[in-house]
A = this chain, B = another copy of it.
Amino acid sequence: MTDILSDEYFMQIAINEAKEAALKGEIPVGAIIVANNQIIAKSHNLTELLHDVTAHAEIQAISSAANFLNAKYLKNCTLFVTLEPCQMCAGALYWSQISKIVCGAEDEKRGYRAMGGKIHPKTTIKFGVLQKECSNLMIEFFNKKRT
């Protein structure tokens, strides 16, 4: 059983978001933002449905959390995301000055580390939380697409 309020606990909620994306035919990436152990934003990738390349889970979560807080800086907030952010999302997270990012699967091709992007010096980042579950979602999705 997963401890409540652990990184794994919150990542599981992000995974549930990713599954919502998959049900809509979207690449399964989910994200949540947590402040003081409270979930203040939940989102999943909607690029196909919205015909909008900017509708990544992280971008939506950042906008929602900022709206909830009525503040543009996400200080004392943690993002849980099932896939390593891309360059665009790393850039948005940079501007948000978010305190912490927790990632599930790595993205060796399009992740911000491969693309050369940067996160803010005030932000700490942790990789590999429920990595296998997060990766499997992606693998299953693309396997289904192929068949």
Our pick among B67, B73, B87 for the contact of A91 (Cβ within 8 Å) is B87
Contact with B along A7-40 (1 / 0, CB 8 A): 0000000000000000000000000000000000
> What is the total number of copies of this protein in its complex?
2
Residue of A47, A63, A70 with most partner-chain B CB within 10 A: A63
Selecting from A76-84, A92-100, A126-134, A135-143, the interface stretch reads A92-100
Do residues A118 and B87 form an inter-chain contact, with CB atoms below 8 A? yes
A121 at the interface (CB under 8 A from B): no
Find chain B residues with CB under 8 A from A94 CB: 87-88, 115
Interface residue ranges, A against B (CB under 8 Å): 47-48, 51-54, 59, 62-63, 66-67, 69-73, 86-92, 94-96, 115-118
